[in-house]
Structure 1
Amino acid sequence: MPCQSSDELKALVEEARNCTKNGKVADYIPALGKAREDDLSIAIHYPDGRCLSAGDIEKKITLQSISKVISLALVLMDRGQDDVFKHVGMEPTGDPFNSIVKLETMAPTKPLNPLINAGALVVTHMINGDTVKERIQRLLVFVQELTKDATIRYCEEVARSEFETSYLNRALCYFLKQHKMIAENTDIEQLMELYTMQCAIEMNCLNLARIGLVFAMDGIDPQSGKQIIPADIARICKTFMVTCGMYNASGEFAIKIGIPAKSGVSGGIMGAVPGKFGIGIFGPALDEKGNSIAGIKLLELLSKNYKLSMF
């Protein structure tokens, strides 16, 4: 079991915080550029309800790409594996998360996996509902169940900021629509509205650690005993987190840290240590791959000190 006390965790956070000076806050989404570069916090949520934390864990962050794992779980529950994987693949990529290159060279033209932007847009367009409002509400209800927090919403400022600057994602959508991976009757502006709301879902590190815990426990909420996510779908999501969850640094992350995890350009990282606990991290200074530079250092320290790697 890692960290017997919050004091141990605080010491690791302070050691990792030194890395923040080597990173940069994402500012291509203007609303994210307001974050403090030296922020770093972590929560670790155990099955028995205990939670260890360090840093300002109440500070809210938007999920960004972490939301891709949650929407994938929901769509797999709604549509089934056969339908979902007709439209998106299962393979990792060495390209940046927003790259269009593989779409142009693959036959058929299908996103390599659901955790790159192209694949996530395909998955989001499969969320059930007749309107953007119905579909984002469906996703929010799912997130609220995972976190046991009915107050969770999306940040309108961040959603609007992303919507107004998402030129490349629009291009990906039209390319995918041309190749019938996104349905022909899809209104791309409505899809972009839904996707930017999804990415702007807002929570704190404790909420994030609790979602990680549900995935770590094979989809079961350990407090209530309820199977929120079917075990096989939780397994699929964790596998994608290992192979694709840290953008094109996923292989190095698997070797150095070795747990299922998903990052977002807000600086969030959600970790799921199988059968043990969930982790939520916020550190907005990013490395060149788009991952929290101090968050990864913190996970390296935890994994080394407490032998977290599943490999």
Structure 2
Amino acid sequence: MQLYSFVRAASSNLQMLIKIATNDFCVPQFSHFQTIIRELYDFCAPNSEGHNASYIPQLAAVDPSKWAISVCTIDGQKFNIGDVDALFTMQSTSKPLTYALAITEHGPDKVHDYVGYEPSGRKFNLVILNDNNKPHNPLINSGAIAVTALMKNGSCMPERFMYINKELSRMAGGVNLGFNNPVYLSERSSADRNFSLAYYMREHKCFPPGTDLHETLDLYFQICSIETDSKAMATIAATMANGGVNPITGERILSGPAVRDTLSVMHSCGMYDYSGQFAFKVGLPAKSGVSGAIMLVVPNLMGIAIYSPRLDEQGNSVRGIQFCQELVKRFVFHNYDSLLHSSAKLDPRKHLHEDRVQSVVRLLFAAKNNDLNELRRCLIANVDFNTTDYDDRTGLHVAASAGAFDAVRFFIEVAHVDPNPLDRWHIKKGEISPSVEDKSLPKFNSFDADTVRSPNKLRDFVKKEKKEDPETAMN
């Protein structure tokens, strides 16, 4: 690339270039993350349980062996593996997106005048409303139909569909989304229950005034028949993870409250009758569809799209569920995983050796400051008390050099560390290394176990060392 071309490219992507130069990405070790995703992909691939959705002929005819995973982080890092170019209709994965668009357009209060936000505890397509005669939530059929009625209400049908398709395309980073007309026609021809549900809702005034019932249902079927692939869906999920801002284009598409409310409902209601178990086992917002897609969101980090057509009894992708469960076994992604304490799970947000560096810093500062409470916390967190800094200095070195006799006693008696460690200059605890200028520090060259176990003896030892050191005595 010539200098002029580079300058032009850099001027429009300066922030990204800085991230690249400093490796300041939300997943700094992305290649390692990709390796683990590839392992999970291969682990789940042999699973051939489940069957394609059969009530729509076009879905039943899809190759059941299709298997794809796509990842997009909020910094635009991407990884794709498998049949990522395979097209599928969005089906119910569109429901949280139309809900978010409706809240962005109308605000949460108006939307929630027509739909609730709690699990129904019943099948997603039952003719049932909550105690307030509203659909329980926007991720079941009744709620999604009510939300569809709100979108650009008053505009003509072509404008309404074009608006929704355009907004979904913006969430996907500008990718053109297709439309599967045969699926739409099949959905429409087998929609007796949805028509019954819509008439029941109209009886209970669940729609805005002036709603055309048949137009609303047609638009609902059309939205479900929008066609995409796992790559575009991962970017859509990343837009949700990024608070409504597309990570590729930088455009704000959804409002903050819309994303917050949508992720909350996805967490509690997004996986049909498996939603409660999914929230318990996986602990992430997700939405599945009968085409075999799962849209998974790791808030403030990434979006993941999973596609495999074979479904379980609840209508969720069998491989998709397995992948999600394996994912949270490897990474601290579950909503209630602790990010504060050491864990066997990996945190992809962290740089290489970040946990060890933080542990060393905590330990050495606690040793220097004679902070027993922090030392106890380190012990509970399974911090290695024999760990060293870049000069091979242990916490015992630091505690002894600082005269922190309580910390010294803790290291030897409680943590049971090596009592005579050597740093890079082969200097023992309490001796002053060549890099230390302060010669007034006490020198704990040797002390026995009895001294360590007795606070009074240890204090006397410190006083004696200070008194016998001529430089210390002068001070």
> Matched residues in 2 for 1:29 and 1:81: separation?
34
Cα-to-partner distance string for 1:191-224 (whole Å, 9 max, x where unaligned): 2211111001111101101011011111122334
Aligned twin of 1:290: 315
Give, in angstroms, the shift of residue 253 of structure 1.
Answer: 0.5
Quick check: 1:210 aligned with 2:238? no
Unaligned stretches of 5+ residues in structure 1: none
Partner residue in 1 for 2:433: none
Contact 2:101 2:258 in 1 (8 A): no
Q: Which amino acid aligns with 1:307?
A: V
Aligned to 2:138: 114
d(CA) in 2 for partners of 1:6, 1:195: 36
| Equivalent position of 1:23 in the other structure | 50
Contact 2:284/2:298 (8 A) holds in 1 = yes
Q: Distance in 2 between matches of 1:132 and 1:298?
A: 39
AA aligned opposite 2:237 = G
1:242 aligned counterpart, secondary structure? helix
Question: Structure 2-normalised TM-score?
Answer: 0.62
Q: What SS does the aligned partner of 2:158 have?
A: helix
- Residue 158 of structure 1 aligns with which residue? 183
Q: Deviations over 1:122-157 (max 9, x none)?
A: 000111052221111110010111012342132111
In the alignment, is the contact (CA less than 8 A) between 1:112 and 1:119 conserved in 2?
Answer: yes
Query: Per the alignment, in what secondary structure is the counterpart of residue 86 of structure 1?
Result: coil
| 1:99 aligned partner | 126
Taking the aligned partners of 2:58 and 2:134, their CA distance within structure 1 comes to 31
Match of residue 48, structure 1, among 42, 65, 75: 75
Aligned equivalents of 1:260, 1:107: Cα separation in 2: 26
Task: Compare CA radii of gyration and give the structure with the larger one.
Answer: 2
Offset from partner CA, 1:152-189 (integer Å, 9 cap, x none): 13211111111111111111110001111024643322
1:220 maps to 2:245: yes
Question: Which of 34, 48, 68 is matched with 2:61 structurally?
Answer: 34
Equivalent position amino acid for 1:48 in 2: D
Q: Equivalent residue for 2:103?
A: 76
1:259-270 correspondence to structure 2 within 5 Å: 259-270=284-295
AA of the residue aligned to 1:298: F
The alpha carbon displacement at 1:46 in A equals 1.5
Pick from 94, 111, 115 the counterpart of residue 67 of structure 1: 94
2:201 matched to which residue of 1? 176
| CA distance in 1: counterparts of 2:285 and 2:141, whole angstroms | 19
Deviations 1:33-92, CA, capped at 9 Å, x for gaps: 111222211001122322112111011111100111111111111222111111111111
Contact 2:52 2:311 in 1 (8 A): yes
Identity of aligned residues (%): 34
1:8 deviates by 3.6
Query: Paired residue for 2:466?
Result: none
Contact kept, 8 Å, 2:285 with 2:296, in 1: the verdict is yes
Question: Retained in 2: the 8 A contact 1:219–1:231?
Answer: yes
Report the counterpart of residue 458 of structure 2 in structure 1: none
CA distance in 1, matches of 2:240, 2:189: 33
Distance 1:3 1:273, change over 3 A: farther
- Answer yes or no: is the 8 Å Cα contact 2:237–2:295 preserved in 1: yes
CA contact (8 A) 1:177 1:184 kept: no
Q: Is the 8 A contact 2:74 2:241 kept in 1?
A: no
* CA 1:117–1:151: 2 relative to 1, 3 Å: same
> Out of 173, 176, 186, which is 1:148 matched to?
173
Higher relative contact order (CA 8 A, sep 6+): 1
Runs of 4 or more off by more than 4 Å in structure 1?
A: none
Where does residue 114 of structure 2 map in the other structure? 87
How far apart are residue 7 of structure 1 and its match? 4.7
- Equivalent residue in structure 2 for 1:236, among 243, 261, 268: 261
Please give the root-mean-square deviation of Cα atoms over the aligned residues, in Å: 1.6
SS of 1:233's partner is helix
What is the TM-score of this pair, normalised by structure 1? Answer: 0.94
Tell me the distance in 2 between the aligned counterparts of 1:34 and 1:89.
35
Distance in 1, matches of 2:228 and 2:247, equals 20
With over 3 angstroms needed to count, the CA separation of the structure-2 counterparts of 1:150 and 1:11, relative to structure 1, is: closer
Aligned partner of 1:187 in structure 2 is 212
